[in-house]
Structure 1
Amino acid sequence: MKGCKFAALSKSQIEFKDWSSDSKQMVVSASRHYIHLYSPDIINKSILDLQINLIIH
């Protein structure tokens, strides 16, 4: 990422993922800020995967 602002943002995103021992992070490059509006299929699949994972474990 270019610039100091983006480097800090990238670092904070990495640290945010570390808040949980069971976390997942992905970059959806084709989406914009409001990912739930522009890529709802990604959000829906992630929620369903989480539910399935909770049921299994």
Structure 2
Amino acid sequence: MSQKKIGRPPSPDSKHTMFRVRLDDESVKLLDECAEKLQTSRSEVVRKGIKRIHDDLH
């Protein structure tokens, strides 16, 4: 009898790399303010920041 996998299948754009970073209190405060204002997660703010800096460099 074959085992049936339970759960949602991974989406094509799934985020599989975890990146930890140390932040000072001021950076955490700024990150939280941005996330709240944009109504999104801290992770999404970081991803948008990386994309914006990358775009500015090119």
Task: State the TM bucket, normalised to the shorter chain.
Answer: 0.3 to 0.5
Q: TM-score, normalized by length of structure 1?
A: 0.39
Q: TM-score, normalized by length of structure 2?
A: 0.39
Over alpha carbons, which structure has the higher Rg? 2
Larger RCO (CA under 8 A, 6+ residues apart): 2
Of Structure 1 and Structure 2, the greater helix share is in 1
